[in-house]
């Protein structure tokens, strides 16, 4: 029997990771996000920085030279293959929450997924990332849009799915208006 898995895709700064973590706590099941990164680092020669940066995002350079991509597995492709294997293994172990990493696509036939997308408007996300992650050299909104574009490109390249397209998710919630707690309540109820 397939395990029930809550997969959370999210816009950067929407609090989707927090929603996943709190929902998992309420359901008393594991939430894989940081753990996934640790395991990727442990099972590979990739550094933590590399995994965090290229496990969900296409690099800007790659977007720009998309059409010029040469054949053969890149370092990022190898990370994708390993990430895919780890996610499939985790879903075998029992019900869980997985944040990001295209888990909805990877598990589409391997688990009984509740596929979720968490979003919020730019203003609210910009305010949140400054509050949670602190100020950076790049203005918050530009940083958000760049992160989103790179996630969408990553998803498109490895899964051919349109990231953030409503029909790809069973539930899409605006955390900026509904708030994190309401999102957690709904997902706990639906799971």
Binding site for a second copy (CB under 8 A): 117, 119, 121, 164-167, 169-174, 177-178, 182, 185-186, 189-190
Give the closest residue to 98 by CA, choosing from 175, 5, 2.
5
Strands 96-99 and 4-10: parallel
Q: How far is the CB of 78 from a second copy (least distance, A)?
A: 32
Q: Which is nearer to a second copy, 37 or 144 (CB)?
A: 144
Q: Which is nearer to a second copy, 18 or 115 (CB)?
A: 115
Q: Which is nearer to a second copy, 110 or 172 (CB)?
A: 172
Q: How far is the CB of 8 from a second copy (least distance, A)?
A: 14
Q: Which is nearer to a second copy, 33 or 148 (CB)?
A: 148
CB-count burial class (<10 Å; 0-12, 13-18, 19+) for 157: middle
Q: Are 96 and 23 in contact, with CB atoms under 8 Å apart?
A: no
How far is the C-alpha of 154 from the C-alpha of 80, rounded, in Å?
A: 10
Grouping H, G, I as helix, E, B as strand and the rest as coil, residue 102 is coil
Give the closest residue to 39 by CA, choosing from 82, 88, 98, 5.
82
Q: Which is nearer to a second copy, 110 or 186 (CB)?
A: 186
Q: How far is the CB of 71 from a second copy (least distance, A)?
A: 34
Q: How far is the CB of 185 from a second copy (least distance, A)?
A: 7
Q: How far is the CB of 146 from a second copy (least distance, A)?
A: 17
Q: Which helix (H) or strand (E) holds 114?
A: strand 112-119
């Amino acid at each position: 029997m397939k395990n029930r898995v809550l997969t959370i895709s999210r816009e950067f700064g929407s609090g989707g990771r927090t929603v996943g973590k709190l929902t998992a706590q309420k359901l008393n099941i594991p939430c894989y996000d940081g753990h996934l990164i640790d395991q990727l680092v442990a099972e590979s020669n990739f550094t933590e920085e590399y995994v965090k940066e290229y496990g969900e995002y296409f690099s800007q350079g790659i977007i720009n030279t998309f059409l010029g991509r040469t054949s053969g597995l890149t370092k990022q492709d190898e990370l994708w293959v390993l990430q895919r294997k780890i996610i499939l293994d985790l879903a075998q172990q029992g019900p869980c929450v997985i944040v990001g990493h295209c888990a909805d696509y990877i598990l589409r036939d391997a688990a009984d997924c509740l596929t979720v997308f968490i979003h919020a408007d730019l203003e609210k996300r910009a305010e949140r990332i400054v509050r949670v992650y602190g100020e950076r050299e790049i203005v918050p909104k530009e940083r958000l849009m760049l992160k989103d574009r790179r996630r969408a490109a990553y998803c498109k390249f490895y899964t051919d799915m349109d990231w953030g397209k409503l029909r790809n998710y069973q539930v899409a919630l605006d955390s900026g208006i509904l708030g994190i707690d309401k999102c957690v309540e709904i997902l706990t109820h639906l799971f």
